Every structure is written in structure tokens, then in C-alpha cells.
Structure 1
Amino acid sequence: MIKRFCIKRWQIVLLSLVAVLGITYLLLKLLPNSSLNAFMQRQNSTRFYDRNGQLLHILALDDGLRREWYDLENIPENVQKAFIEAEDKNFYFHPGVDVTAIFRAASQNKEAGRIVSGASTITMQLVRIIYPRKKTSVTLGVKIKEVFLALYLEIKLSKKQILELYLNSVPFGKQIEGVGSASRSFFGIKPEDLTQEQIEVLAKIPRRPADYAPEKNYDYPSRCPHFIQYVISEYAKTQTVIPNDLTLSINAQWNELTERLIQLKLTEFQDARIHNGAAFVVDNASGEVLIWCGNASFDDKEHNGEIDGVLVANQPGSSMKPFLYARALERGFDPSSVFPDIPLDFGGAQVYVPLNFNNRYNGPVRMRVALASSLNIPAVYVLYRIGVDDYMECLDSLGFDSLKGTRESTGLSIALGSSEVTLFEMVRAFSVFARDGKVLEHIAVVPSQKQEGKRVYAKDTARILCNMLSDKNARVLGFGNAKVFETTYPCLFKTGTSNQYQNIIAMGSTSSLTVGVWMGNFEGETVVGQTGSSIPASVVRTILDELTKTYSAQEFAQPESYIQQNVCTLSGMKATEDCPSVTREYVALGRSVHFEPCSWHETRNGKTIIKYPSEYQHWASQKNFSGETQIDGSELSFLYPRNNAHFIFDPTIKPSAQMLPVEVTGGHHTSASLYYDGKNMGTVSDVFSWHIALERGTHTLTAECGTERTSITFTVK
């Protein structure tokens, strides 16, 4: 009986011990460890690839450390074996602590009278990496703690996980951790390309890192640097760890071609102070970024090459006008609507928009011509009609975040692109036309999910804009027959200049792609000797020529809620038999029924007579002036400009072309003199008109006709 009781008791003790060990094992297995979790989730040196798998860049961590991650199956087996052989031969056979190695090391050290051998396992080395020693002196307590942590890691992780963590974290000195970064830093190759001799060298380095140095300083790849910086900053905004490998939407080959194109232009026009250029290209269907060239050369320190021109806010000039005219279409205007290209009064004070690029006022112009030829005065007129607030709301919907909070300082000059926006924003907004009125967010990482997009314009509004911006005949008034815009595929273009050519911008779109190119300089210097936007436009054209070999350029879809009718090219009204010049133009279906026939032309005695509306009569009389001049006899007064007028100095036109027309009427003599801030501008006869150069500031004009004098003041902003 006593014997039976003892056996039973022994079994209970054994079972209890097994149970305690089992429970302890499970608790350790399940017990969370913040230090271990943080270590396993830390940022590694991300490898960035382009959409075709080409390696672009390997991210150095904030402290300059290089640590690439490779899954164990991607680390060659002979590399794994070499490190196990060098550091822990019994790695797969011990629970984290190698007792036989401890006895062996103790025996060897005793025999040598000094430390010649260690017993630290790979697991114990990993413990010291995860839980660094806080003190330089290693006490028995520290060693016991590391033993328990090694046992803990063996319970918590598999042998594969431990070896994988170790090989990706083992320090090699010189800010290098892990065999991936070590093979690249010491030999300039990936782990899978290492020779056996190189592997054996690497396996020895962790023991005494200070004794080894790379054969030479191997350069890490650094392609598309501005785009890489943008991607990193986007992850930083969300405080998200960047994956170990990240495939980006960009095409490195196209990006580097673009860098060369821009550099060629910068070299060609370096005497004009054009030192910087940027290009940005997106896929219209997906929003994926295909080209992001922030500058021709990231390493050009003389001209601030590190600054990213895609993200710098500049005045876009006339390249903003399409968004304004698209809004006008949705506020009741048609492509045939006629706008005045004459001196105008807004709100009782003259807002001056200087001469257009053709250096004259063009009288009545249809929307199509005003947009395609980039006339300034009609743009200000349109904005005045629809309202700055309404237009700013539209720009906000298009994603112009740079304009947020600027409403109080924004006036009618925004019609000419006087507010600063980025090329990033411009391309996103301009692509809306090829996307049937929807705006998509730019996508930097692939594969990407399909975007539904946000509708900003009606589908037919976008299609009308595509039609107008691709109309080469409508451009003639402003640009002549510019060859740069003549492509073999359907394409829209818009250009802009600002700040006396400090910023020169060109936009282009096919059905598949949208391209934006900015050129100028970051120093704020005025670009000299060039008339502008044809320079970046040629780069846009070359990019599109190259990319349309891959991305098809389809015909732009036709609007569905418009019909084409014969309209008078002068009045924009329904053409009659009296109209000498007729064109086909889109007219909204709702308006077509009540489309009024032209009332500007009339045939009398076989001769066509033009009856201009009153607002154009002065312009027409100057243009077609003939006959004798009669003395008015009324009081001498300024017909133009008005007293207390406010003018806007247009930075897109050279000062020498900024001529203000001055018109005086009345007086009792046939001649009159003009004084500009006291300076005599000359005496004229018959028609009292002069042209004076604009200068910023407040000025006084005085006219003299015989004994009569009259004066006004005006301000140029």
C-alpha cells in the first residue's frame, strides 16, 4: 500500500511540473512584449522600384543607418549556413542557450588564461540587439537576464523567425545592419549575387566590425529623387511605416528622358536666366504618376537643384484660363458667346488688363477664340460676370489647396493666373477635361485601386473645353500657326507666363495623358530676352510624342447636349445670308431653339453694313477712322482712362509692351498736349490720343487744349 501511494504521488508531482511548465510556456508564448513588437515593426531601409521593377532608391534611415530587409527564403542558403557556422553551430539544437558551448568556452578560456572563446548563441546576440545593454560593464545579473530573454525568444518565435531577424539586424559597423545592406555596402551587390569567398568575409565581420572596411565606397542607387522625397513625406504625414519594398507608379526611363529634355532647354537658354525646370505627367484613367521631374538635376547646387519644382507654388498665368471658361459654360455662356476685348470699366473703376500678345485690342471675340488665343481682357470680363467667389469655389473643387485662405486678397487679376499654385495642382486640374469633368487624386504607388473621381464640371463642359483647346484655327489670333501645337494625334494645349517670364508654363493633354512643364528660376530673377511659353511647350510636345507610342491618343468625345450650328464669326449669333464670315459652332440644345439671328450685319444696296453694339463703336471708329475731324466744342475731358482708375500691371507682358491708351475729347482747338507726371508726352492734332508706358504707382495725367486744362489721377498695381 505504501509503495502504491509513493508512485501515485510521484506521478502527481511530475504531472504538476509538466502542467506548470506548459502553462508557463503558453503564457510566455501569448504574453505581449512591447519591445519585441516594436523591434519587429521598425522601419527598415525601403527599396523603391519603378513600375517596371527597376530599383530607384534605397532609403537611409533618419540616423543615416542602412538596414535592408530580406525574407529568409530570399537570403541564399549558403549565406545562412556561413553565419550559423561562424556564430552558433548548434543553432537548430538548443533552446536559446547552448550548454555545451558554455562548458567548451569555459574550458578553453581557463586553459588560455584569458577569454578566447564565447558561448553566445545567435538567439542571445539577437537579445542584445533587441534589448541593448544599458551599462558597459556586464554583471552576472545582466547575463542571467539575457539567458532568460533568449529562452523567452525561443518560446515566442520560431527558429526561422529568429534567424531571419538576426540576419537582417546583425551590425557590421559603419552604419550598416543586416546582410542585405552589408553585401551592398561592402561589395556593391545583392545577397544572392555574393560569391562564397565574399560570404565568408561577411560572416566574420560582426565579430570585429572595426577591423573591416569596404573595398571601395559603393554608391547606392538614387533615381527620381524628388518623387522619392514626395512619397516619403506622404508616409510621414500619416506616421506610417514604409514597406520594405515599394513599387511606385513612375517610369524611370521616361523620367530620365524628361530630365535630359529639360536640361537641354536650360543649357540652350541659360543666358536668359532660365536655370530650373520641372515636369509632371499623369495617367488620366488611373491618376497614376508616370513622370515626376522636380528639376533637371537634383545635384545642381548652384541653381537649387534639390528644390522640387512640381511642389513649388508659382503664378501660372494664362494656363489657368480653361478653368474659368469651363465655369462660364456652366453659368449660361456658349462657345459662341462674344466677349469684349476693349478697355472696360468694372464697378465704376477701371481695371486695366494690358494689351494681349498681339499688342492690340481685338474688339468682339467669341469664347472659343478668346480662350484658344489666350486673350486677357475677355478673361477678366468673364470673371467679372460670374464672380470671384464662384470661381474660387470652382478652383477649390479642382484641388487648388494653395489658394485656401486667400480669398480676401484675391481680385479680378486671378483671371490672369496671378495667384500662386503648384504644378502638382495644375496637372490634377487640367486632366479634368480629358476625364469628362472628373478630378482624380494623384497615385504614387502601384498597383492602385480604380478611382471613381469627383465631378467638378458636367461631362459636356469638359468635352467643349477639349474641343476649344485643340482648335488650331482658334489659336491663330494669339499665336499664329505655332508648329509646336501641331501634333499628329488629338491633343489640347494651354500655356502661361508670369512675373516677367520668371515662370513659363505649358500644359498638354491627350485622351490618356496629362503633362505639365514649368521653367524659370528659383532665385526670383526675371527671365530675359524670351517671349516665353514656347520653350516649355516644346518639352510638353516631345514628352507626348514619346509617350503616345505606349499610351494611345484617341479622339476626344463629342458633347451630347450641344448641336453644331452656323454662327457669325463676328457676332457669335445665328448666321444669316448677310454674314460675310460663317463658322460651325456648338450651341446648347436648350438655347438652339431660341438662337437669335445675327443683327450685326445688314445688306444695303448690295453692300454689307456692320452695326456694332454701342460698347464696340469707339473701338470700331478708331480701327476704321476716316474723313475730316471736326472741333467738338465741348468741355475738355478724359474719355479714357477715367479719374481714379485702377490698373493691373500684367506680368506676362514685357514693360515695353504695356502701353496705356489715353483718349481726350472736347476742347476748342484742333491740337492738344499731354503731360504724364509733369513730363510732356507730345502734342497731337485732330484725334487726341496717346500711348504711355505703364509704371506701378499713382500717377497724374494733364491735358492742355489752348487755354483749357484738365487732370486725372490713376493707379497701377
Structure 2
Amino acid sequence: MRRRLGLAGLAVLTGAAVAADRALPPDLSRLRAGIEVLDREGRTLSTLPAPGGIWRLPTAAADVPPHLLAMLLAAEDRRFHWHPGFDPLALGRAAFQWVRAGRVVSGGSTLTMQAARLLEPRPRTLRSKALEILRAVQLEARFSKPEILGIWLTLAPQGGNLEGLRAGSLAWFGRPPGQLDAAESALLVALARRPEALRPDRHPDAARAARDGVLRVRAAGAGGVSGAEVALALAAPVPAARQPMPRLAPHLARQVAQGAAPGSRIATTLDRDLQRALEGVAEAALHEFPDRAAFALVVAETSSREIRALVGGSFGVEARAGMLDLTRAVRSPGSAQKPFLYAMAFEAGLARPETLVADLPFRFGSYAPENFSRDFTGRVTAADALRQSLNLPAVALLSELGALRYAAALKAAGSPPRLAPGAAPSLPLALGGAGTTLRELVALYALLGDAGRAGALTALPVAPVERPEVVTPRAAAAVAGILVQPFPGGGPAGVGWKTGTSWGGRDAWALGLDARHVAGVWIGRPDGTPIPGLNGRASALPVLAQVFARLPAAPRQPLQVRAAPRPFAEAADRLRLLFPMPGAELVEGAGPVTLRATGGRRPLVFLVDGAPLPHQRARREAAWTPPGPGFYRVTVLDADGIAAAAELRVR
């Protein structure tokens, strides 16, 4: 009977305990931690604080070295792995010392009780101690011993607004806790006891004494450490100042952290060493420019499109402009998009690198472009026209290619032209007459080094994807080869580069690629106001040369074509419709449109739904006014009877 009553009573007590635990669970809200952004090798790039500006980063038992855990258990809780959350022997000893001395000599708190107090801070009273014991029992029932250690390691105060040993390790020693030696580990363990009184930057003697006390406890047998190792640790200095928390690539860190869960560690594709080096390049170069000038810089691996370094804006700027990621700002590219235009022209058979083109005054209707130098070169090869960034040949090629087709190809390549509301693509597109971003331009140059295949840049590891071919490998490689030339002020060989300057000196660009990497530099003011004398060649190109000088060595052979291309002569001879493209759509009432063809043997005949159009048969274009909405088939025939056709729709 007594046994049954005892079992029943135990069941009632157990049920009551379970009910109380569910009704009053421990408050884990203080575990809400900041975010850590990592580079491609798992190294810390940047940290973002927890709410309230507290530097609190999740720290697990596996994140700290074994000797730190050994010191922690030796100094705070030798029977941690055996007790149920509280240690009766430690509490009895603390009570006896209190009665005998008339004051608190030792607290008797276990690490689990300390974790409970860190989760729910209370005044140091007997009532609080009793609540800590109850909470400790709850924690032991809910979490494993390593998880309880993780709570303590995440919340242990480290002085000022630092909480947790990961934050303490980064702030006091500039590296994660897994790399701490014995002396450094002992200091962090000691700091948790009295974080303000033992701050090494304010109270170095007290900090050293407390650290040495933890080391001597370990020397007494905890952790199996040799006396020589302890002696070496005792001789080590304590840090004289707190180091800034890691803040590389701050613009990208904020971007990837958006929507991430508190306490996340986010892996990126960046390279920490390269990022640090290029931030130094940009910061040093910034001193050569007027106030409010800013730099943006992107480096990516061509084949994977993974970003290796990104500088989003100015340094040390507290105003709103300093928070803007200028690699995503829409700006005028000037001549920086011309290589893609030439690649399309080469593919369409409108020109070859050796084709002679005219750089002479010419009007395209009401549009009369000029060169940046305000003079004209005469007849030059298409390759030289691109290298010299001559404007008239580029506009002439776009006139032949068609602005609509060029705009559609830019969109397919991931760099859609941003036009003014209501504006249609037109010839100024050849000279930067529509907005784009630095990230999109870098991706456009990566296309030239990747057999004409389009793909957006990424800062997060993603699975490889099949990329669409926007221009032929031959055309892409030909343009990339044309761009390979020495840097004017010296720099690494084997780099293809192109510059651009927007109207009025508002934006200076330099883009480049070698056999492994693609990079871009933008200089300007975030508000778009001009900078006197700013231009891509003089301002941005020297910075680009420094960027490539700091990249890992790449094979310096010419950029390779990855697929068997057709010869340029064959491409030039093949009859093709430039406009309309298959599936094109027109708006009724927009007036006449120009049908264009390339290749084939003249004279050409244009037909719409089988009916020939009147035109000069020696020309490769014909005007046509749609009679109304509907679907139409446009066909072009050359002198050999070869045909090319496309269907379009008029809405």
C-alpha cells in the first residue's frame, strides 16, 4: 500500500513538474543574436549586431578550443557533466562559507545556473538563487550538456556591449575563438565573472591577475597541460585596446543578411584577403578625388559568375549616401557597353575586326554624334574603332543592327537598358543612352570571356546552371581579344579592358577581363553631380590596373573559344533577317517600320505574307506600314533564291 502511495505521489509530482515547465518555460529571447557573414572559406567577413546594438554572436561548444572548455569547467563547474542543473555540494560549501564569514565568499552557481541567470537577469538575492535553481533544472531537462554550454558561451558578458565568447574573441583578439591560445582563452573565461572590472583596455593589471588565476587553476591539473605551457601563457600580455568588429564588404553583408534568421552565419563567395586588399585600393584612390566622390568595385570569377570582392561605396561616410550600394545604382555607362555592340555586329556579319569603318562627320536623321575628343579619325578598322572608342562607327553599326534588336539582346544578356518613361530604344544606346549598373556591366564582360553565354553575378554559393548563348563564341572571343592591350600607366599583361565616361563627367567606368576573372570600377558622386575632369581612362582605368595586379595569377594566353565557331566569312554570307526577330510585337498606328536583312547576294526582295514590297533592290532594308492588327510573316529572298523569314504580331 505504501509503495503504491509512494508511486502515486511521485507520479503526481512528476506531472506537476511537467505542467509547471510547460506553463512557465524558460525565456530564450536573449539568445536572439547578430548575424555573421563568412567568405568562401568560412572566414569571418562582417558581423551585424543583435537588436539594441549588442555584439552577440551564437557560439557553440564546438566553436571553442578544448583547452578553453577545460579551463571553464575547472574554474566554474567541475561537476558540470554529472549534476542535474545544481550542485548540492557547491551550494552547501557556499552556504557554510557565508555563515562563517558573514558575507558571500563563493556563489555555488553551476554553469547551468549561470546560463539561467544570463537568460533572465535578476538582482542577486536568495529568491533569485532559488529561481535560478528551478530554471537550471528546466534547462537540463530541455537541453543537452553541449547545448547548455552553448547558451553560456553565447551570453557570457565580455565587457561593454560584448556578449558571448565569439564576440569577445573577435573584439579583443581579432580572430574567432577556435584560434585562441591558452592565455587568450583564460582571459575570456575570467572576463565573464566581472566584465567591467576586468576589461583589459581599462584595468590591465586586474585583467592579467584574473587571467593568471584561471591559468593556475588549469595548471593544478585541469586539462592535462604542461607547466611550460602555463608559464608561457602567464608571460603573455593582455590586449591594450578593443579591436573593431569585422566589417568587410558592409554593403553586401547588409544585403545578404536581409530576411536572415537571427544568429545566422551566411556563407558567401567572396575572398576575405582579396576583399581587404581591394578595399584598401579604393580607399587610397579616393583621396585623389574631390569631396563626395565615391568608388564602387566588383570582381568576379568568369566561369562561375561568383563575386570574389565587392566595394559598394565610400569609406568613413556617415551620411545616407555612404549606406548606398553603388554597384546596384543605375547610371549611364557611356562607351562601356560598346564591346557588346561590336560582338553583336560581328555575329550579324555587319563587320569583322579587320573591316574598314568610317569615323567621319555624319548625321543619322536629326542625330549627329561626336567623339569624346571632338575630332574624327577617318577610316580605321573595326578593331581600332573599338579600342579607340570612336563614336561614329558604333552608332553606324547600331543603325545597321537595329536599336530594338540591340536592346532586346542587352536584356537577354542580363543588362536591360533603363530608358526614360515612354522612350523607345534608339541610336544613342550605342553611346550609353540608357541606364545600367556596375554589376550588370561586369556580367556583360563576363559573357565575352565565357563563349557568349549570359549569367548574372552571384554572391551566394549556388548550383551550376546552364547559361543561354546570347552571342556566338567566335564573336565574343574576337571582341575580348581586341580589348587585350597594355594598361597606359603599366599593369599586368593579358588583360582586356574598356573604359566609359557618361555625359558631363558624372560617371567614370573601367571594365576588364583576363582568362579567369572579370572586374569593373565605377567612380562618381552618389547624387549624380558632375566631377570636373572625371573620365574613365584617366580616373577609373588606373584603379582597374591595380585591381588586376592584386588578383591571383591567371593564365595569360588569349581568351579561348569554347565551341567550334563558324568562320566570319560564312557568318557574313548567310542571309538573315535582322528585323523583325521571331516573335516580335508592334503597336498599331506607330507608323512605318524598317525591315532589315544581312548577308545573302543582292538584289534582295522583301515580302509580307507573300506580297513583295517596293524598295531599292540594292539595299538591305525596306519600309513597311502594317495595315492593321494581326499576325504577319516577313520573308526576304536573295539573288540565289535563299530565303529567311520571321513572324511578327501587330497589336
For normalisation by structure 1, the TM-score amounts to 0.63
Q: Aligned partners of 2:566 and 2:179: how far apart in 1?
A: 64
Looking at structure 1, the residues matched to 388 and 23 of structure 2 have their Cα atoms a distance apart, in angstroms, of: 68
Q: Distance in 2 between matches of 1:491 and 1:176?
A: 46
2:465 corresponds to 1:452: yes
Deviation at 1:282, TM superposition (A): 0.8
Offset at 1:466? 2.9
Residue among 284, 307, 316 paired with 2:333:
316
Aligned counterparts of 2:534 and 2:255: Cα–Cα separation in 1 = 36
Give the superposition deviation at 1:219. Answer: 1.4
C-alpha distance in structure 1 between counterparts of 2:535 and 2:389, whole Å: 14
Contact persistence 1:57–1:220 (CA under 8 A): no
For the pair 1:352 / 2:368, whether they are aligned, the reply is yes
CA deviation profile, 1:384-406 (whole Å, cap 9, x unmatched):
566555444433333347x5685
Q: Secondary structure at the match of 2:567?
A: strand
Pair 1:97–1:248, CA change in 2 (3 A): same
1:251 to 258, 271, 293: 271
Question: 241, 266, 285: which one pairs with 2:303?
Answer: 285
**Pairs within 5 Å for 1:549-560:** 549-550=553-554, 553-557=557-561, 560=564
For residues 131-169 of structure 1, the C-alpha deviation after alignment (integer angstroms, 9 at most, x for no partner) is 455xx69695x6665443322211111222212321231
Provide the residue aligned with 1:698 in structure 2.
Answer: none
Aligned partner letter, 1:320: Q
**Which of 158, 182, 192 is matched with 2:168 structurally?**
182
Structure 1 counterpart of 2:135, one-letter code: L
From 255, 260, 279, give the equivalent of 1:239: 260
Q: CA deviation at 1:177?
A: 1.4
Partner letter of residue 431 of structure 1? A
Question: Are 1:151 and 2:137 counterparts?
Answer: yes
**Which AA in structure 1 matches 2:376?**
R
Cα deviation for residue 454 of structure 1 reads 3.7
- 1:438 aligns with 453
* Cα distance in 2 between the residues matched to 1:98 and 1:333: 86
Aligned-partner residue type, residue 572 of structure 2? V
SS of structure 2 residue aligned to 1:319:
helix
> Which amino acid is 1:43 matched to?
A
Match of 2:295, as an amino acid? G
Task: Measure the CA separation in 1 of the matches of 2:405 and 2:547.
Answer: 35
Supply the distance in 1 between the matched residues of 2:272 and 2:170 (Cα, whole angstroms): 21
Counterparts of 1:578-657 in structure 2, within 5 Å, are 587=572, 589=574, 594-595=600-601
- Bigger radius of gyration, 1 or 2? 1
Secondary structure of the 1:514 match is strand
CA distance change for structure 1 residues 471 and 77 in 2, over 3 Å: closer, same or farther? closer
Corresponding position: 1:506 with 2:510: yes
Distance (whole Å) between structure 2 residues aligned to residue 559 and residue 270 of structure 1: 44
Tell me the distance in 1 between the aligned counterparts of 2:381 and 2:184. Answer: 74
**Is contact 1:276-1:520 (8 Å) kept?**
yes
Q: Identify if the C-alpha distance between structure 1 residues 186 and 282 changes in structure 2 by more than 3 Å, giving closer, same or farther.
A: closer
Rounded Cα–Cα distance in structure 2 between residues aligned with 1:312 and 1:26: 57
CA distance in 1, matches of 2:463, 2:449: 17
CA contact (8 A) 2:500 2:508 kept: yes
Q: Distance in 2 between matches of 1:382 and 1:211?
A: 74
- SS for the counterpart of 2:242 is coil
2-side partners of 1:535 and 1:526: how far apart? Answer: 13
CA–CA distance in structure 2, aligned partners of residues 210 and 262 of structure 1: 38
Residue 428 of structure 2 is aligned to residue 408 of structure 1: no
Query: How far apart in 2 are the matches of 1:86 and 1:521?
Result: 56
Question: What amino acid is the match of 2:269?
Answer: S
- Compared CA separation, residues 242 and 384, structure 1 to 2 (3 A): farther
The Cα shift of 1:270 comes to 4.5
Report the Cα distance in structure 1 between the residues aligned to 2:158 and 2:499, rounded to whole angstroms. Answer: 54
Structural mapping, 1:53-72, within 5 Å: 56-72=45-61
Distance 1:551 1:451, change over 3 A: farther
Q: Distance in 2 between matches of 1:486 and 1:173?
A: 49
Match of 1:128 in 2: 117
SS of equivalent to 1:210 = coil
Q: CA deviation at 1:67?
A: 2.8
Query: In the comparison of the two structures, how many residue pairs are matched?
Result: 544
Contact 2:499 2:536 in 1 (8 A): no
Residue 426 of structure 1 aligns to a residue whose secondary structure is helix
Q: Aligned match of 2:477 in 449, 454, 466?
A: 466
What is the DSSP-based 3-state SS (H/G/I as helix, E as strand, rest coil) of the residue aligned with 2:253? Answer: helix
Deviation at 1:234, TM superposition (A): 1.8
Q: Secondary structure at the match of 1:533?
A: helix
Shift of 1:13: 4.4
* Equivalent residue, structure 1, for 2:631: none
Amino acid paired to 2:465? E
- The secondary structure found in structure 2 opposite 1:511 is coil
Is the strand fraction higher in 1 or 2? 1
Letter in 2 for 1:417: G
Q: Report the equivalent of 1:622.
A: none
Which residue is equivalent to 1:219? Answer: 243
| Residue of structure 1 aligned with 2:81, choices 78, 81, 92 | 92
CA separation of 1:399/1:389 partners in 2, compared to 1, >3 Å: closer, same or farther? Answer: same
The residue that corresponds to 2:211 in the other structure is none
Change (3 A) 1:511 1:274: farther
Aligned equivalents of 1:321, 1:124: Cα separation in 2: 68
Matched to 2:241, the amino acid is N
Q: Which residue of 1 aligns with 2:33?
A: 43
Deviation of residue 493 (structure 1)? 2.7
CA distance in 1, matches of 2:276, 2:493: 24
Contact conserved, 2:165 with 2:177, CA < 8 A, in 1? yes
Q: In the TM superposition, what are the counterparts of 1:528-543 in structure 2 within 5 Å?
A: 528-529=532-533, 532-543=536-547
> SS of 1:468's equivalent?
helix
5+ long unaligned stretches in structure 1: 1-8, 476-480, 566-584, 598-612, 615-717
Q: 2-side partners of 1:110 and 1:496: how far apart?
A: 82
Query: 381, 405, 410: which is aligned to 1:395?
Result: 410
Work out whether residues 39 and 269 of structure 2, in 8 Å CA contact, stay in contact via their aligned partners in 1.
Answer: yes
Structure 2 unmatched runs, 5+: 202-239, 577-597, 604-617, 620-651
Q: Is the 8 A contact 2:510 2:521 kept in 1?
A: yes
Deviation, 1:497, is 0.8
- State the Cα distance separating 1:318 from its structure 2 match: 0.7
Distance 1:195 1:326 in 2: 57
Partners of 2:477 and 2:489 lie apart in 1 by 14
- The question of whether the paired residues in 1 share the 8 Å contact of 2:338 and 2:394 is answered with yes
Are 1:423 and 2:438 counterparts?
Answer: yes
Structure 2 CA distance, aligned partners of 1:37 and 1:64? 18
Task: Report the Cα offset of residue 465 of structure 1.
Answer: 3.5
Say whether 1:343 aligns with 2:343: no
Secondary structure of the corresponding residue to residue 430 of structure 1: helix
- Report how far residue 464 of structure 1 moved: 0.7
Q: Structure 1 CA distance, aligned partners of 2:561 and 2:481?
A: 12
Change (3 A) 1:586 1:537: farther
Q: CA deviation at 1:196?
A: 6.0
Does the residue aligned with 1:374 lie in a helix, a strand or coil? coil
User: How many angstroms apart in 1 are the aligned matches of 2:565 and 2:179?
Assistant: 63
Q: 1:38 to 1:137 in 2, by over 3 A?
A: closer
The alpha carbon displacement at 1:410 in A equals 5.9
Structure 1 residues 187 and 327, CA gap change in structure 2 (3 angstroms): closer
